[in-house]
Amino acid sequence: MTVKTEAALRPRPALPAGHIAFWGGAALLCLALVAGFRVLDNEYAWFAGYFILQYVLLATAWNILGGYAGYVNFGAAGFLAVGAYTTVALRKAFGLDLLPCIAAAACIGGLLGLGTGWLALRLKGVYFAIATLSLAVLLHTIVVNWSFVGGSRGAYVLRPASIPPFVSYGEYLFVVMLVLAVIGVGIARGIEGSRLGMGLAALRDDERAAEAAGVPTLRLKLVATTLSGALMAVAGAPLSHYTGYLNPEAAFGLAFSVNAIAMPLIGGAGTWFGPVIGAVLLASLQQAATVTISSAANLMIVGVVLVIFAAAAPRGIVGLIRGGRHR
């Protein structure tokens, strides 16, 4: 946090060195990942990679509201499913490709987030969390009864075998999610170093005091819920193409909501890097468990890891690394 303060004090050059390092590093990492996976030449690698990246984006999106502003969203699965079903609906109605569907999912998720923000004007703490949980249940019910997108039977999505520069469709999906995740993390990182991030931290610490200090808490909360909602929906937008089949049980799965909260907490909520580490760690564990034991073990693993971290490292991995500077 010290770094952030000093950055806020210094007159900013057009493109600060930190940004160059971040975006350059991200680009290199992306290239290295794609090149490495190509060498592996294993379709499963793309599949597992996508699984992890989807959680990097979901956890980062949750963290914008939950970590920075302190508003706990228990309905991440609802937002993710809205993104997934936006794609299903638009594909069926207009035969749109995946990329325009992702853009549409961002808009619809953002609007839904804005609506949640309206809730956050009145509800705080536990009440806000319960309201988001109910929102997910409500959306679930709507989708189950919406026959155009398959209702409770679900919908099949015929995906192309491959898209030209990419070897397989799995690789294409991986690259798409990789780019989306990097954009999401970049946005979160940008918020963290900005006035918006400072204002959100203030209202997280003491909303009344933030108001009294002149921080426009209302506007900041709406920005945070909108961004968070948009990015969560984006994380879900390619889901139907990833599995080839989408039903409400899968899209609104409890695992999404639980992971969206557990990953930032384990990695270190309130920092852009925390959700990334948390997601990579937990999603890899779950993917490994799915292959070796059964996907039924996944939530149990999350639970156990979460309990260990809550007891041993309440500020997450990032907090462990930084040491006990706070409390």
Partner 1 sequence: MAGSASLTITGLHAGYGAVRVLEDVGLTVAPGETVALLGTNGNGKSTLMHCVMGLVRPSQGSIRATLDGQEIDLIGHSPEEIVELGIVLVPEGRRLFPLLSVEENLLLGAWRAAARPKRLANLEFCYDCFPRLKERRRQATGTMSGGEQQMVALARAIMAEPRLLLVDEPSVGLAPLLVARTMDKIAELQRRLGLTVLMAEQNFPQAVRIADRGYVLVHGRIEYAAASAAELNENQLVRNLYFGS
Binding site for partner 1 (CB under 8 A): 1-2, 4-5, 8-9, 195, 198-199, 201-202, 204-206, 208-218, 325-327
Cα–Cα distance, 157 to 88 (Å, whole number): 7
Distances from the Cα of 235 to the Cα of 101, 302, 310, 311, 323, angstroms: 12, 20, 26, 30, 32
Cα–Cα distance, 13 to 60 (Å, whole number): 27
Token pair, residue 295, equals 């996907």
Q: Is the dihedral of CA 93, 96, 97, 98 positive or negative?
A: negative
Residue 273 CA, distance from chain mean position? 13
Q: Write down the least CB distance from residue 226 to partner 1, Å.
A: 19
Q: Write down the least CB distance from residue 224 to partner 1, Å.
A: 16
Angle between helices 298-312 and 273-292 (to 10 degrees): 140
Q: Write down the least CB distance from residue 67 to partner 1, Å.
A: 12
**Segment (H or E) for 210:** helix 207-212
For partner 1, the closer of residues 139 and 201 by Cβ is 201
For partner 1, the closer of residues 213 and 308 by Cβ is 213
For partner 1, the closer of residues 220 and 261 by Cβ is 220
For partner 1, the closer of residues 97 and 207 by Cβ is 207
Q: Write down the least CB distance from residue 271 to partner 1, Å.
A: 12
Cα–Cα distance, 318 to 270 (Å, whole number): 10
Q: Write down the least CB distance from residue 188 to partner 1, Å.
A: 18
For partner 1, the closer of residues 13 and 214 by Cβ is 214
N- to C-terminal Cα separation, the chain: 14
For partner 1, the closer of residues 29 and 213 by Cβ is 213
Q: Write down the least CB distance from residue 129 to partner 1, Å.
A: 20
Q: Write down the least CB distance from residue 2 to partner 1, Å.
A: 5
For partner 1, the closer of residues 201 and 277 by Cβ is 201
Residue 42 CA, distance from chain mean position? 26
For partner 1, the closer of residues 165 and 214 by Cβ is 214
- HEC readout, 232-279: HHHHHCCHHHHHCEECHHHHCCHHHHHHHHHHHHHHCCCCCHHHHHHH
Q: Write down the least CB distance from residue 195 to partner 1, Å.
A: 8
Distances from the Cα of 7 to the Cα of 102, 180, 184, 224, 321, angstroms: 34, 26, 21, 22, 21
Cα–Cα distance, 189 to 290 (Å, whole number): 31
Token pair, residue 41, equals 């030449």
